[in-house]
Amino acid sequence: MSDTPLKNISTDHLFLRAARGEQVERPPVWLMRQAGRILPQYRALRANFPDFKAFVKTPEAAAEATIQPVDELGVDAAIIFSDILVVPEAMGLDYKMVESVGPRFPTVITGATDVKGLRSGQDAAASLEYVFNALRVTKKALNGRVPLIGFAGAPWTIFAYMLEGGGSKTFSKARRMLYADPALSHQLLEKITTTTIAYLKGQIAAGADLLQLFDSWAGELPPAHYREFAVPYLQRICEALPEVPKTVFAKGAWFALEDLGEMSCQVVGLDWNTPPAFARARVGADKVLQGNLDPCTLYAQPEVIREATLEMLRQFGPKHIANLGHGVYPDTPLEGVRTFVNTVKGL
């Protein structure tokens, strides 16, 4: 790394003021998965790497992908190009990204010996230096233009991948373990949590201005299990990272909004099913809400997108960061994305 001093992001940046819950002139806007296939320049960059993981592990390439949507779309934040599955990999479970299928873990966790064999905490996070390097390269290249978001998967979601070996229709292997061996489940969640904390501390040290936790499979758990196996670990992570604002996006966890309202995070992400007023009534007045336009809206005609975006902004009111309710889908027309971003920015 060069020793040239970085122009740091101003703490007065619209996005950071909004994330802290301050009154702002308009909601900031970005899109989950904005660094990705929606952009032609991403597809060109991606073509240089036959292997997705080689791409993720090349800091200059990851930095370039991270910055592309800032240049192309004018979004108010960059999010580091990476994958939540680097954490299980760092803990000792290798995965393959299978084109048009998704991630696959050849080895999964089946019992106590497997859990015991996993690396955790700083020991595991040490192998994620390539992400920290990508953050440093990005930070330098951004030169203070917009804040840089770091992220990790939430412990329950990482646990689910480690048990299932990939996505699943029912997540019954992961959920089965919560019933069949709750003590071992907690041991594994504990190891994921300490690793995630070490990993996110590394991201902050490397320049992340805000952190987002993705609990992609939150909606698979019954409320009592979410309270027992997800909430305490999310809370531990949030408490361990007081330096930056934190966003928790627990997809499908409408039933846990009260818990999310009490969490030591500043921002709560919402999926496209959750009416803003329903969420606000449950998380309370303090939290900033992020979301939640249906990503499929962006396939519609520009007038429809514009009207839906304005309606969403009206429904949220203040303390809002505009985003979709899920990652933008790879085949979304770029014009639809632009209409969304520009509608928010034109407010």
The pattern of x and - marking residues 267 through 306 that bind a second copy according to CB under 8 A reads -----xxxx--x---------------xxxx-xx---x--
Q: Considering only residues 21, 219, 232, 302, which one is a binding residue for a second copy as defined by CB under 8 A? A: 219
User: Please, what is the minimum distance in Å from the beta carbon of residue 258 to a second copy?
Assistant: 12
130 is catalytic: no
280 is catalytic: no
Site for a second copy in 223-262 (CB under 8 A): 223, 225, 252, 254-255
Q: Considering only residues 92, 121, 166, 167, which one is a binding residue for a second copy as defined by CB under 8 A? A: 167
Which residue, 175 or 246, is less far from a second copy as judged by CB?
Answer: 175
Site for a second copy in 305-334 (CB under 8 A): 325-326, 329, 331
175 is catalytic: no
227 is catalytic: no
User: Please, what is the minimum distance in Å from the beta carbon of residue 49 to a second copy?
Assistant: 23
| Residue 85: C-alpha distances to residues 159, 166, 196 (Å) | 11, 10, 11
46 is catalytic: yes
User: Please, what is the minimum distance in Å from the beta carbon of residue 274 to a second copy?
Assistant: 7
Instruction: Give me the catalytic one of 161, 199, 226, 233.
Output: 161
User: Please, what is the minimum distance in Å from the beta carbon of residue 300 to a second copy?
Assistant: 4
State how far the Cα of 313 lies from the Cα of 318, in Å rounded to an integer: 9
Site for a second copy in 29-88 (CB under 8 A): none
Task: Decide if residue 172 touches a second copy (CB under 8 A).
Answer: yes
Task: Decide if residue 111 touches a second copy (CB under 8 A).
Answer: no
- The stretch among 79-87, 111-119, 222-230, 238-246 that binds a second copy (CB under 8 A) is 222-230
State how far the Cα of 43 lies from the Cα of 58, in Å rounded to an integer: 16
Please answer whether residues 347 and 28 qualify as being in contact, where contact means their C-beta atoms are separated by less than 8 angstroms.
no
Q: Give catalytic residue positions.
A: 33, 37, 46, 83, 161
- Using CB under 8 A as the criterion, which residues of the chain lie in contact with a second copy when the complex forms? 102, 167, 169-170, 172, 175-176, 178-180, 219, 221-223, 225, 252, 254-255, 272-275, 278, 294-297, 299-300, 304, 325-326, 329, 331
